[in-house]
């Protein structure tokens, strides 16, 4: 059986906008109605990022839709969520963010052993010309593969 269950949500835009150098797995401190919405797949990672303040990691601008059956006891969809990481991991992320000028973005959310986990990517933002080069390289590889498959 696979170590991770299927992803509940992915941020495909992050891999397009950033050159991901390293990934980190973190837990999320969620409220009851939030975890129910996450299990239902009602989470959007597109605008999300990680902020480190006072030796704690926070997930900012990740939208978790309100859970309808919870009605009155619902959560704020854009509230900042605390990430569960070891102090050493937080320090490492903080060093990457401050000293090296890297960004920390959420890549995907999945369920593991009944708990919601998030995969964070530490990466450098790509410029427009970098993105164009990446696309051109991908197209060239696809064309080479097509030619090789024609020969066989």
CATH code at position 62: 2.40.280.10
12 within domain boundaries: yes
pLDDT number for residue 132: 84
The total of structural domains in the chain comes to 1
User: 52 lies in which domain range?
Assistant: 7-126
pTM: 0.77
Residues with Cβ within 8 Å of residue 91, at least 6 apart in sequence: 55
28 within domain boundaries: yes
Residues with Cβ within 8 Å of residue 124, at least 6 apart in sequence: 18, 19, 21, 101, 102, 103
Q: pLDDT tier at 65 (50, 70, 90 boundaries)?
A: confident
Q: Is the pLDDT of residue 131 over 90?
A: no
Distance, first Cα to last Cα, the chain: 35
83 within domain boundaries: yes
If one compares 105 and 16, the residue with the highest pLDDT of the two is 105
pLDDT number for residue 1: 35
29 within domain boundaries: yes
143 within domain boundaries: no
Reduced to 3 states, what is the DSSP secondary structure of residue 95?
Answer: helix
Q: Is the pLDDT of residue 4 over 70?
A: no
Q: Is the pLDDT of residue 120 over 80?
A: yes
pLDDT number for residue 6: 77
Reduced to 3 states, what is the DSSP secondary structure of residue 87?
Answer: helix
144 within domain boundaries: no
Lowest-pLDDT range of 47-51, 97-101, 111-115 = 97-101
């Amino acid at each position: 059986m696979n170590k991770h269950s299927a992803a509940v949500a992915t941020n495909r835009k992050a891999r397009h906008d950033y050159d991901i150098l390293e990934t980190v797995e973190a837990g999320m401190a969620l409220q009851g109605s939030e975890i129910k919405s996450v299990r239902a797949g009602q989470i959007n990672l597109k605008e999300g990022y990680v902020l480190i303040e006072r030796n704690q990691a926070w997930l900012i601008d990740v939208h978790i839709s309100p859970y309808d059956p919870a009605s009155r006891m619902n959560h704020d969809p854009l509230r900042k969520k605390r990430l569960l990481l070891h102090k050493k991991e937080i320090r490492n992320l903080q060093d990457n963010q401050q000293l090296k000028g890297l960004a920390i973005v959420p890549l995907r959310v999945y369920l593991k052993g009944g708990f919601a986990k998030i995969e964070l990517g530490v990466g450098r933002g790509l410029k427009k010309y970098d993105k164009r080069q990446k696309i051109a390289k991908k197209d060239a590889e696809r064309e080479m593969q097509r030619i090789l498959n024609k020969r066989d």
